[in-house]
């Protein structure tokens, strides 16, 4: 595969690349670069973390990238997930890996690594402390959005140290590319700045789009990233997200009540279509009564967007078809978690409720 095609695949996983020229040089000089994403085990996975993550990971692998998943169990512990119970956090990590196995991720070509296994590594802590030594408390606190926190939140000392560890992870994993969400942008920028100062490299950032939650977007937020964080799916607001093990009826219920004003592109149904459904199916058929024009088949997102924003496609019809395709993608996951160890894990996670 030529460089241009590889770049196209890699960049298709994100909405921002910093920088394209550095990515090109990386692909020209390294046969199999390393990309990583880290996940903090903190409860059920929603479809952005499940299906969308699987789509992006498979594209990275297709582009010849070695993909590493950092199971950030210690980070979840520091961030007081699952009530600060490290053993429960590890079980959530196992559950999340099972989700990816069941939703089409090419897991045989993914390397899963646990943060807890690195905690006895002297070099890990030496590098982490060096990152802390070379930054102010104010700079580190500004990175708190990577934990789902804001600068206004009361942070524990462990949470303040968290960004230094996350920046250190990049070099511990020998990651050439960070493929994390836009909400992780600040700490990845920090790593790019500090890496060369400490004798490491400057990782390329391919920052992933944050899928909208199902509720109405907040008003009055002008910063692009802050707005994305405020309107993203949230496990702490169950009806703002479709979870990977939701029943068919639950998916329909959530999508039926979702925010979706007519003719407005900025809504979660259009996001589901653009970032999940059109990337999973060759075409999309919107089913509707002959009274309203009959079924309409679209072969790309732009065609559908044109009809919806012009008013030719009604929100109710868009919602019904969105639910249909999402349920089709989730059916293998439901079957996987219907018996055996996966079912035990899913039942355990559900019993814990939702966490921030």
Are 11 and 59 members of one domain? yes
Residue 241 located in a structural domain? no
**Residue 137 phi, psi (nearest 5):** -60, -40
Q: What is the CATH number of the domain that holds 113?
A: 3.40.50.620
Q: Based on the domain organization, do 107 and 185 belong to the same domain?
A: yes
Considering the domain boundaries, does residue 268 fall inside one?
yes
For residue 295, tell me if it sits in a domain.
yes
Percent of the chain residues topping a pLDDT of 70: 92
Q: Let me know whether 30 and 143 are in one domain.
A: yes
Of 207, 235, 255, the last residue of a domain is 207
**E strand or H helix that includes residue 315:** helix 315-336
- pLDDT tens digits for 57-92? 999 999 999 999 999 999 889 888 888 889 999 999
pLDDT tens digits, 277-321? 999 999 999 999 888 889 999 999 999 999 999 999 999 999 999
> How many Cβ atoms sit within 10 Å of the Cβ of residue 151?
11
Q: Which residue has the tokens 């490491």?
A: 200
Q: Are residues 202 and 251 in the same domain?
A: no
pTM of the model: 0.91
Instruction: State how far the Cα of 65 lies from the Cα of 34, in Å rounded to an integer.
Output: 6
- Total domains present in the chain: 2
On whether residue 218 sits in a domain, the answer given is no
Whether residue 236 lies inside any domain: the answer is no
- My answer on whether 79 and 144 are in the same domain is yes
* Within a domain: 100: yes
**What pLDDT score does 355 carry?**
43
Adjacent-strand bridge partners of 16: 207
Residue 222 domain-assigned (yes or no): no
Question: Hey, what are 338's tokens?
Answer: 């219907």
CATH code, 303: 1.10.240.10
Q: Please indicate, yes or no, whether residues 130 and 266 belong to a single structural domain of this protein.
A: no
What DSSP assignment string belongs to 228-250?
HHHHB--TTSGGGS-BTT--HHH
Contact 159, 78 (CB under 8 A): yes
List phi, psi (to 5°) of 55: -60, -50
Q: φ and ψ at 16, to 5 degrees?
A: -150, 130
Q: What is the pLDDT of residue 166?
A: 94
Query: Are 59 and 170 contained in the same domain?
Result: yes
- Same domain (yes/no): 10, 111: yes
Listed residue (241, 267, 244) closest to 319, CA to CA: 267
Could you say which residues of the chain have pLDDT below 50?
354-356
pLDDT at 294: 93
Residue 225: inside a domain, yes or no? no
Q: What is the pLDDT of residues 189-209, one digit of tens each?
A: 999 999 999 999 999 999 999
Q: What is the pLDDT of residue 356?
A: 40
- Give the pLDDT score at 155: 81
- Greatest alpha-carbon pair distance for the chain in Å reads 70
Asked if 50 and 169 sit in the same domain, the reply is yes
Q: Pick from 181, 207, 233: which residue ends a domain? A: 207
Q: What is the DSSP letter of 177?
A: E
Domain identity same for 83 and 200: yes
- Characterise 263 by phi-psi region: left (phi > 0), alpha (psi -120 to 50), beta (else): left
* pLDDT at residue 348, rounded to an integer: 83
Task: Identify whether residues 181 and 325 lie together within a single domain.
Answer: no
Same domain flag for 301 and 159:
no
- The CA distance from 137 to 301, in Å, is 44
Q: If DSSP codes are grouped into helix, strand and coil, which group holds residue 58?
A: helix
Residue in 39, 248, 63 with CA at minimum distance from that of residue 146: 39
Locate 110 and state its tokens. 């993914």
Provide the pLDDT for residue 222: 60
Q: How far is CA 137 from the centre of its chain?
A: 27
Q: Could you tell me the residue range of the domain that residue 59 belongs to? A: 3-207
Q: What is the predicted pLDDT for the residue at 153?
A: 67
Rg of the chain over Cα atoms, rounded to whole angstroms, equals 21
């Amino acid at each position: 595969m030529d460089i241009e095609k590889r770049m196209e695949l890699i960049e298709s996983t994100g909405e921002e690349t910093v920088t394209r020229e550095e990515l090109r040089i990386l692909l020209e000089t390294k046969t199999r670069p390393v990309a990583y994403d880290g996940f903090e085990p903190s409860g059920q996975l929603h479809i952005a973390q499940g299906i969308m993550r699987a789509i992006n990971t498979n594209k990275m692998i297709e582009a010849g990238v070695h993909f590493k998943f950092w199971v950030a169990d210690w980070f979840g512990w520091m961030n007081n997930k699952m009530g600060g119970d490290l053993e429960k956090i590890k079980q959530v990590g196992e559950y999340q890996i099972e989700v990816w196995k069941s939703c089409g991720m090419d897991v045989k070509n993914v390397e899963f690594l646990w943060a807890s296994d690195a905690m006895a590594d002297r070099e890990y802590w030496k590098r982490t402390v060096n990152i802390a030594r070379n930054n102010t408390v104010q700079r580190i606190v500004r990175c708190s959005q990577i934990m789902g926190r804001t600068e206004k939140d009361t942070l524990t000392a462990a949470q303040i140290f968290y960004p230094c560890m996350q920046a250190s992870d990049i070099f511990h994993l020998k990651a050439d590319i960070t493929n994390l969400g836009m909400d992780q942008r600040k700490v990845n920028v920090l790593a790019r700045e500090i890496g060369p100062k400490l004798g490491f490299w400057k990782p390329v950032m391919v920052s992933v789009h944050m899928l909208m939650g199902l509720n109405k977007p907040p008003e009055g937020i002008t910063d692009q990233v802050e707005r994305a964080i405020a309107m993203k799916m949230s496990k702490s607001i169950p009806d703002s997200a479709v979870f990977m093990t939701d029943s068919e009826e639950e998916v329909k219920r959530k999508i039926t009540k979702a925010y979706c004003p007519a003719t407005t592109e900025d809504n979660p149904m259009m996001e589901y279509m653009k970032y999940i459904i059109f990337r999973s199916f060759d075409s999309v058929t919107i089913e509707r009564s002959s009274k309203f024009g009959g079924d309409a088949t679209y072969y790309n997102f732009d065609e559908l967007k044109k009809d919806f924003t012009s008013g030719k496609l009604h929100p109710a019809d868009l919602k019904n078809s969105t639910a249909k395709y999402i349920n089709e993608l989730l059916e293998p996951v439901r079957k996987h978690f219907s018996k055996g160890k996966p079912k035990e894990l899913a039942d355990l996670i559900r019993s814990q409720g939702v966490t921030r």
